[in-house]
Amino acid sequence: MLALTLGACASGREYRGAPIASVIETGEQAVEGRVDTVLRGDSGDSIALSVWPATAPQRGVMLGVHGFGDYGLSTFRAAAEEWRAAGLTVYAYDQRGFGRNPSNGVWPGADRLIEDLGAVYAHVRAREGDAPLTVIGHSMGGAVVTAALGEGRIAPERAVLLAPALWGGDNLGAGYRALAGMAVTLFPDKRWSGDGVVRIQASDNIEMLRGLGRDPLYVRKPSSREFAGLIAVMDRAVEAAPAVRAPVLLLYGAKDEVVPEDPLRDTAALFAGPTEFRVVETGWHLLLRDLEGKRVRNAVRDFALSGVRASAKHPI
């Protein structure tokens, strides 16, 4: 009963930003071969967006959704340079509350993150027309993508989930929910470092990790409100999973210390469309940026270009 009560407190205290129904693109600037722009919503909030136009004849479009603490340019920059050479135009945006946005450090709410993806997706569709579109979600971004797919907010030709945060529903124990509920009720905006409590390695690419540690845009210490909000995002994703019909490639690192494998398999098994769950033996959590990340980048590229050939559901 305590866990249920505190869990309800957690969802009730989650901050919710103003909704963005549509966006207008402004402030276009060419930087190192890409184009950085700002999507201004009708609510007044803005979303930073980067675009890497294909350098070979265009064969498709990709839309990247980053994970917690990170931002689009950080997560997808290196991968986009490779994908664009294969004829893929790559879009990656900073989710509200993160990265280059004025809202950095202010949790917008699970509802807003999922709605924002729908608005950005509609913007990309309007620009790119009928070009085959693959949506890619990493970690928390994978949960946002899953929820948006299942709720019918986006309808891409295919989707890629990289170490997605699908640890919600029945797989997330009452203890975690109680702790999140207590923290957000008593200390909603306190940020937690985890020092001396937990040690997690996100990648074997140590230089990249050091770069993230120096990056002033990277959110390193999540707040109680953000913990509770992340649970809300994961719950929404699991709830929406049975309605996911787009072909999905789910990649998971065998050395991932952030997200456990079993909840991901349980959620992927709920997907209604063609699904492939692939374990990357050399992979950690930051799959695109690991030392062996090229294997993952190539797998994502090939999936975006070829799709899922089988009409029947792949075994998990």
How does DSSP assign 30-95, residue by residue?
A: EETTEEEEEEEETTS-EEEEEEE--SSS--EEEEEE--TT--HHHHHHHHHHHHHHTTEEEEEEPP
First to last CA, the chain: 35
Residue 97: pLDDT band with limits 50, 70, 90? very high
- What's the 3-state SS for 283-299? CCCCHHHCCCHHHHHHH
pLDDT above 50 for 31: yes
Residue of 1, 8, 132, 120 whose CA lies nearest to 64: 120
Higher-pLDDT residue of 12 and 118 is 118
Instruction: Give residue 311's pLDDT.
Output: 33
| pTM of the model as a whole | 0.89
Residue 92 pairs in a beta bridge with 50, 64
Kindly tell me if the per-residue pLDDT of 248 is higher than 50: yes
- Percent of the chain at pLDDT > 70 equals 85
pLDDT of residue 294: 97
pLDDT at site 101:
95
Stated as kind and residue range, the H or E segment containing 27 is: strand 23-31
What is the C-alpha to C-alpha distance for residues 285 and 70, in angstroms, rounded to an integer? Answer: 13
Does position 77 have pLDDT exceeding 90, yes or no?
A: yes
Asked whether residue 286 carries a pLDDT value surpassing 50, the answer given is yes
Unique residue bearing structure tokens 């998971």: 252
Which residue do the tokens 């230089």 mark?
Answer: 207
What is the reported pLDDT for 91?
Answer: 98
Q: What is the mean pLDDT of the chain?
A: 88
Query: Which of the given ranges, 128-137, 171-180, 187-196, 301-310, has the highest pLDDT on average?
Result: 128-137
The least confident of 69-83, 122-136, 220-234 is 220-234
Q: What is the pLDDT of residues 205-224, one digit of tens each?
A: 999 999 999 999 999 887 78
User: 50 is written with which tokens?
Assistant: 């980067």
How many other CB atoms are there within 10 angstroms of residue 214's CB atom? 7
Which pair of tokens denotes residue 129? 């027309």
**Domains of the chain from N-terminus onward:** 2-306 (3.40.50.1820)
Please name which of 197, 195, 183 lies closest in space to residue 225, comparing C-alpha atoms: 183
| DSSP-derived pairing of the beta strands 275-280 and 248-253 | parallel
Q: Are 116 and 238 in contact (CB under 8 A)?
A: no
Beta bridge partners of 49: 37, 93
pLDDT band at residue 274, thresholds of 50, 70 and 90? very high
pLDDT of residue 193: 66
Sign, Cα dihedral of 174, 175, 180, 186: positive
- pLDDT of 148 reads 98
Given a cut of 80, is residue 163 above it in pLDDT?
yes
> What's the rounded Cα separation, in Å, for the pair 102 and 105?
9
pLDDT of residue 159: 98
pLDDT of residue 130: 92
Report pLDDT for 146.
98
Q: What tens digit of pLDDT does each residue of 121-161 get?
A: 999 999 999 999 999 999 999 999 999 999 999 999 999 99
Closest CA to 316 of 267, 280, 259: 267
> For the residues 106-122, what does the mean pLDDT come to?
95
DSSP-derived secondary structure letter, 98:
S
Q: Does residue 16 register a pLDDT over 80?
A: no
- State CA 42 to chain mean position distance: 23
- Beta strand 60-65 with 46-52 is unpaired
